Amino acid sequence: MSTEVKVPVLGESITEATVGEWLKQPGEAVAQDEPICSLETDKVAIDVNAPVSGVMGEHMVGAGDTVVVGAVITTIADGAGAGDKAVAPRKDEGASVPSQSAPAPAEGDDAVVLSPAVRRAVLEHGIDPTTVKGTGKDGRLTKEDVLAAAEAKKSGAAPAAAPAPAAGEAPAASGRNVERVKMTRLRQTIAKRLKSAQDTAALLTTFNDVDMTAVMEARSKYKDLFAKKHDVRLGFMGFFTKAACLALKDVPSVNAQIEGDEILYHDFVDVSVAVSAPNGLVVPVLRDADKKGFAQIEKDIADFGKRAKDGALTMEDMKGGTFTISNGGVFGSLMSTPIINPPQSAVLGLHRIEDRPVVVDGEIVIRPMMYIALSYDHRIIDGREAVTALKIIKEAIEDPTRLLIDL
382 is catalytic: yes
Report the relative pairing of strands 275-277 and 45-49 from DSSP bridges.
Answer: unpaired
Catalytic residue, from 209, 378, 399, 406: name it: 378
d(CA 278, CA 146): 15
d(CA 34, CA 32): 5
Name the strand (E) or helix (H) holding 20: strand 16-22
Task: Annotate 248-267 with DSSP letters as a single string.
Answer: HHH-GGGG-EEETTEEEPPS
Distances in Å between the alpha carbon of 78 and those of 23, 54, 244? 19, 5, 56
Of 176, 174, 150, 217, the C-alpha closest to 368 is 217
d(CA 101, CA 57): 13
Longest dimension (CA), the chain: 83
59 is catalytic: no
Q: Which letter does DSSP use for residue 395 in this model?
A: H
Distances in Å between the alpha carbon of 240 and those of 233, 346, 349, 372? 15, 15, 10, 10
d(CA 334, CA 184): 29
Of 210, 127, 111, 121, the C-alpha closest to 163 is 127
Alpha helices of 109-251 — where are they, by DSSP H?
Answer: 116-125, 143-155, 185-200, 213-230, 236-250
Beta bridge partners of 374: 206, 348
One-letter amino acid of 125 = H
d(CA 360, CA 67): 61
Angle at 104 between CA 101 and CA 108, to 5 degrees: 150
Catalytic residue, from 109, 231, 310, 382: name it: 382
Backbone angles phi, psi at 46, to 5 degrees: -130, 155
Residues classed as catalytic: 378, 382
